[in-house]
């Protein structure tokens, strides 16, 4: 959806990690939900919960046009040995300069090569790719399925 909002989410999560906060809320949008689920699968966050401005919902609440403005996504942060698990969340494709990759480019990038100005993949780094079907998946998954995509963000 909006990469501006995703950039804000990235900055917010980095700030929360530095402040060692246990829970944090981000705006409830389709892209944010896809990214949050991706982070949860990769093990960067401990929980993803839908909620309101005040806190996560204990019982499921239906999202309607009446309450949509107050809906948020609550993420549980992870820490180990005084260090955050999710320490860096940077955008690759930015609103002023989008980055699109073909399947062969993605394969080379996953192998460790530099892609134009995008720095090579680091050990333990996760990159989310948005495919043509507007599906947000991990880089290695995209390479397996031989899909083209937009390099959204890199997470460490």
Partner 1 sequence: MTLKLLNKYPVLAGRRFLSNTRFMAQKAPDQNAKYENMRHMQYLLQYYQPKVVESILQAESAIEPKHFRERKFSKIGFAPHYIDDFTNLDPYYDHLAKKPASSFLNFEQPNESDAPEDQKKADDAQELNLTESQELAKQLSLATGFDQEYITRLSAKTLVLKTVRNQTSKGKISSFYALVCVGDRNGMLGIGEGKDLIEPGTAVLKAHWQAVKNLTRVPRYEDRTIFGNIEHKYGASVVHLRSTPPGSGLRCNHMIFELAQCAGLKDLSAKVYRSRNKMNVVKCTMEALMKQKSIDEVALERGKKVVDLRKVYYSVEKNDE
Q: Is 82 a binder of partner 1 (CB under 8 A)?
A: no
- Nearest distance in Å: CB 30, partner 1: 25
* Distance of alpha carbon 66 from alpha carbon 63, whole angstroms: 8
* Distance of alpha carbon 100 from alpha carbon 81, whole angstroms: 37
Q: Is 124 a binder of partner 1 (CB under 8 A)?
A: yes
- Nearest distance in Å: CB 134, partner 1: 26
Q: Is 43 a binder of partner 1 (CB under 8 A)?
A: yes
Q: Binder to partner 1 among 24, 32, 38, 44 (CB under 8 A)?
A: 44
> Alpha carbon 59 to chain centroid distance?
25
Is 5 or 78 the residue whose CB approaches partner 1 more closely? 78
Q: Please name the residue ranges forming H helices in the chain.
A: 3-19, 30-42, 103-111, 139-145
Tokens of 100: 């699109």
Return residues touching partner 1 (CB under 8 A): 42-44, 78, 80-81, 83, 85, 119-120, 122-125
């Amino acid at each position: 959806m909006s990469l501006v909002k995703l950039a804000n989410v990235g900055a917010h999560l980095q700030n929360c990690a530095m402040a060692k906060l246990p829970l944090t809320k981000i705006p409830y949008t389709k892209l944010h939900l896809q990214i949050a689920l991706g982070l949860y699968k990769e093990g960067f966050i401990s929980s993803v919960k839908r909620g309101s401005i005040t806190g996560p919902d204990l019982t499921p609440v239906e999202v309607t046009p009446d309450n949509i403005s107050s809906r948020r996504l609550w993420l549980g942060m992870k820490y180990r040995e005084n260090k955050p698990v999710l320490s860096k969340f940077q955008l690759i494709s930015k609103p002023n300069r989008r980055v699109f990759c073909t399947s062969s480019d993605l394969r080379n990038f996953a192998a460790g090569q530099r892609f134009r100005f995008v720095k090579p993949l680091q050990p333990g780094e996760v990159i989310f790719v948005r495919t043509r079907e507007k599906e947000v998946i991990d880089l290695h998954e995209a390479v397996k399925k031989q899909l083209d995509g937009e390099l959204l963000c890199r997470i460490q």
